[in-house]
Structure 1
Amino acid sequence: MDSIIAAKLVSISSAFILSGYMLSPSQNTLPLLYPQPASVSTVLFRGVFNRGAALVIPVTGLSVAASAYLAYTAPTGSTERTLWAVSGAVTFAMLPMTQVVMMPGIHRLMDLSSGEASAQQKAAASGEVLKLLKAWAAQNWVRVAMSGAGGLLGLYAMHLKEL
């Protein structure tokens, strides 16, 4: 198999895999945690987040590396090169977005998950836990869109090359 074809397969499919994988917690998992007590919802959130990070980080790296290779091998100044570069950049941007935008809420949920029951009850009674869970789910939808856009840009770049 040609290295260009392999890189296209890796770049596009991994971006779409990320998008679908990250859609599940926002769509299916976190809404089930909203009515749960903080002692349950925060602990389950910790598991969801840690398992997700174990897949999202390396697959993002794989997708970005493949996109970078494809941008590098595309003709200088071409639309194809720009599309592969933007595809990789948009997919990569999920990681700093997570660090800058999402981590304060994630850290608070993690602290609550391992904290005392009284702190969990107080955070739940004030609505803080529900607010943090809903904010994470909404912010995660942005990451879903980012990786989906990376995959779509890769598909367009591949299609553009064939025209």
Structure 2
Amino acid sequence: MDPITVARYLSAPTAFILAGYSISASQSTVPLLYKVPSSISAEVFKGVFQNGAIIVAPGAVISASAFAYLAYAIPSQRRLYAASAALILAPLVWTKGVMMPGIERLIEISGSTVEQQKADASGEALKLMQAWVLQNWVRAALSASSGVTALYAWANNA
């Protein structure tokens, strides 16, 4: 198999896998924690976030690297593949720049009984998780956009 084919098989599918992973967390995982006390929900959220980092960061790097190679190897599609690379890395930037304060606060809540009691009384943990779900939909959209852009490039290069 030639390198372009390998890069295509790695890049867009990985972008869609990452989009699906984010969709699953926003649709089916974190919302189930809304009615659970923060002593449980914040700890589960912490695990979801930490386990996600094991999948998402390396997946984004693999996908972006493959997109970068395609941008280099196929000059006529350079802009589209470069855009795909930027879009698949954008969720990492979004997470760091927008989502981390809430994530860090939920992790802080997970480690302290006093903070859990405060968060339950004020509804803070619920509000933080609801905000995270909305922000995570942005990550899903960015990853999916990366894959769609790559498929468009692929289809127009045939």
Question: Structure 1 residue 118: deviation in Å?
Answer: 2.7
Query: TM-score, normalised to structure 2's length?
Result: 0.98
The C-alpha deviation readout for 1:23-65, integer Å capped at 9, x for no partner, is 1111001111000001000000011101100000000000000
Amino acid at match of 1:150: S
Q: 2:111 aligns with which of 98, 111, 114?
A: 114
How do 1:12-27 residues align onto structure 2 when only pairs under 5 Å count?
12-27=12-27
Percent identical among aligned pairs is: 51
Give aligned pairs, total.
158
Q: Secondary structure at the match of 2:157?
A: helix
Asked if 1:97 corresponds to 2:94, the answer is yes
How do 1:67-106 residues align onto structure 2 when only pairs under 5 Å count?
67-75=67-75, 78=76, 80-106=77-103
Mind listing any 5+ residue stretches in structure 1 that lack a counterpart? none
Q: 2:132 aligns with which of 116, 133, 136?
A: 136
Distance (whole Å) between structure 2 residues aligned to residue 95 and residue 118 of structure 1: 31
Mind listing any 5+ residue stretches in structure 2 that lack a counterpart? none
Question: Structure 1 residue 85: deviation in Å?
Answer: 0.3
Question: Structure 1 residue 142: deviation in Å?
Answer: 0.3
Question: Structure 1 residue 127: deviation in Å?
Answer: 1.4
Question: Structure 1 residue 124: deviation in Å?
Answer: 1.6
Distance (whole Å) between structure 2 residues aligned to residue 160 and residue 143 of structure 1: 26
Distance (whole Å) between structure 1 residues aligned to residue 82 and residue 115 of structure 2: 46
Q: Secondary structure at the match of 2:6?
A: helix
Distance (whole Å) between structure 2 residues aligned to residue 121 and residue 33 of structure 1: 16
